[in-house]
């Protein structure tokens, strides 16, 4: 195997593994709080909470805008339930 081919394989594996990193909910919250603090908002007030809310709403809007997001893509299973009257 040539040296260039080995380098290409290593680079491809590095790119693939870099895409697998995910943030935990706690890490995301800490990053969002740091961003709001960098804007000058102080913790424990309405403006800080509003900043966090706007970041969250923007994240959700970006998710909905992706072509892969389709809530109706899953099959819907329907099973009728028959309720019979009780005999008297």
* CA pair distance 42, 16, nearest whole angstrom: 38
pLDDT at position 23 is 82
pLDDT at position 88 is 78
pLDDT at position 63 is 83
Structure token digits, residue 56: 């969250």
- Give backbone dihedrals phi and psi of 81, rounded to 5 degrees, phi first: -115, 120
List the chain pLDDT tens, one digit each, 88 residues.
567 777 767 666 666 666 556 789 899 999 999 999 999 999 989 999 999 999 999 999 988 888 777 767 777 778 888 888 888 7
Q: How far apart are the first and last CA of the chain?
A: 85
């Amino acid at each position: 195997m040539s040296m260039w081919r080995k380098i290409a394989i290593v680079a491809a594996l590095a790119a693939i593994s870099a895409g697998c990193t995910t943030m935990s909910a706690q890490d995301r919250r800490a990053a969002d709080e740091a961003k709001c603090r960098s804007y000058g908002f102080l913790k424990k007030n309405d403006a800080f909470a509003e900043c966090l809310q706007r970041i969250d709403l923007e994240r959700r809007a970006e998710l909905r805008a992706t072509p892969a997001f389709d809530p109706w893509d899953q099959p819907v299973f329907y099973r009728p339930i028959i309720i019979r009257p009780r005999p008297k």
